[in-house]
Structure 1
Amino acid sequence: MSEHRQEAEGALFEPFRLGRLEQPNRIVMAPLTRNRAGEGNVPGPLAARYYQQRASAGLLITEASQISPEGQGYQATPGIHSPEQIAGWRHVTDAVHANGGRIFIQLWHVGRVSHVALQPGRVAPVAPSAIAANTKTFVNGAFVETSAPRALRLDEIAGVVADYRKAAANAIAAGFDGIEIHAANGYLIDQFLRDSANRREDAYGGPIENRARFLLEVLAASIAEVGGDRVGIRLSPVTPSNDIADSDPQALFGYLIAKIDALKPVYVHVVEGATGGDRDFGQPFDYGALRRAFHGAYIANNGYTGATAAAAVTSGAADLVAFGKAFIANPDLVERLRRGAPLNAPDVATFYGGGAEGYTDYPTLG
């Protein structure tokens, strides 16, 4: 065994306690939208098989799942707001737990990254401000321009916070070990954070303290519902995903991480760089400052290899490292990293929508 492989094994395969969970390793499966939910946006038997195959990860985080019908932005994404969805997810969590795994669900509201075809009554999607996102969404099997949003009224915001809280309760009812609040990649919470998307003039807009308010209310409500040891949050300080940007992300996230830390969620999950693997995108950002200011677990994400993940854990830059596309094509990614084995290449044509092909049929090591 090479010195490099010994380092990887020593770091990535150490156990870790995450809240009430004992993880056998430091490897996390990142959330990955796959657009395979059935009628009523219910996860089906294929989803149970897909996640069960990957249960050797220290932690699985599911694909983003909308907290309400209005929160949907892409076709065939699962929800966690109806009894049928809760029952569908229960089959998934039972399968993962039967295979010895641990699983959180990512809670999602897309905000302006949606299309009227997906909204109840074909109304405009909601956002902090009526500013359209120059991006596309996935509707009827094709990528199309998003629809122009309307600004949430001040008296509607508490209802959205309540939807997050209810979704957190639904997740525990569905058998999940916890939840991850999706506050990254240009979706609703991230839209509130950023001065490019939030032009409000009330208590939720303007200075950083106001723009952070919605996220902190969602986080506090979720923690009040299910406990901080079962709540994580995902952030993406500099990603341009879904036409999002901010004039001073270091100041924004410096303020935010201190407030998040005070609420004591079990982890922060940080997309370092541009979502999709470009770690060097954009203006410089000090991720170490977030790591030092947060006293829970730090999950690093974006473009990591086995070697760089091991180095991050060994150096203390991260407690855990999340892998995305590598888990799509390698259900046995943990064992492949352990052995230093080659990785299957993902079939990009099967990422979004379809059935078992490119979903549950990737080969594993013999």
Structure 2
Amino acid sequence: MAPKEFEHEMRKAAFDQNHASFRSLNQQMWQIPLISMTLTGGLWFGVSRVEDFLIFQLALLFLAATGNGALFIIILRMRFVMQQHLDWLEKTYPAGYVSAKGKQWYSKPFLVRSLFQFMLCLAACLSLFLLIVTAWTSRGEVFGTMPRDPALTYYEQHAASLADGYETLSLETAHPALLTIINRQFENRPLAVLDVGAGTGRDASWFAAKGHRIVAVEPSEAMQTIGRRLHPSPKIEWRQDSLPMLAETRASGETFDLIMLSAVWMHVKPDERQPALKTLASLLKPGGQIYLTLRIGPSEPTRGIYRVSVEALQDQLAAASLKAEKLDEQSDLLGRNNIRWVAMSISASEN
């Protein structure tokens, strides 16, 4: 083969190789935004679904931040290599090279790469911001220092978002077993009702509308404020009181036909549950009932949630001269797969 023919073949082989490499790099370049959206969206969704596992949340947010940061650097490297191919093509075959160097802001070189990198940087920064905020708001669990009353602190800080979740459910949906107690035990007569841990007053409002006398006890001032706004019924008497002693309520000298504790018992510290049961028993009228729901699931220290069980409650009730009947069991209405709820009816033991 003549030297000129050999050189031509070599230049052709180099052109084909560079052309194939450029096309491969270009295809990968356009896949990066899809990778980023899938990575970020999937990890952020994962964070929203594992609210009970702080360390896992932090790990997912860290992965989202570092993943987008890595993709930012990858684009820089890929675009540099692609530019080398373009420079070689312009030098080797100027007649076939298209520069596309526009003058408007939207047609200038590196615009697409810059926009990709801006979005990647934004996603990384947002993930990092969420990581810092999540770690800071949960610093007690992260560093092992918890507020004196973590449950009250949590409800004060998250009252608005929690209220949205509570108000989406009706009492009939959340507590079908409670209606059974009212119909079977009290035959729909007017009752004196104590709602301990009344939250937004959703259930208290239902009792007030049915003509019952209702006292709504809620230790969180923020939750009470929302409750008074959403359910401004004059028939609801709000009190800022809390277990285990319910000092203000006991001082009033009142007793009640029905005492309701919905999603409350897991917030009572284990060593305070026996005194709390004695307090509740002292507030019951003869023949009265306590309706209590047990959250069966993992503990959450930052929310002041401790483990409970039907067996442990039964033992505590026996020591307080109380007896219990299991009414029903249902999955979590907010969609948390690792949590279920058991409804119990508690009354005085017959000696």
TM-score, with structure 2 as normaliser: 0.31
Which protein has the larger Cα radius of gyration, Structure 1 or Structure 2? 2
The answer to which structure has the higher helix fraction is 2
Greater RCO, 1 or 2 (C-alpha within 8 Å, sep 6+) = 1
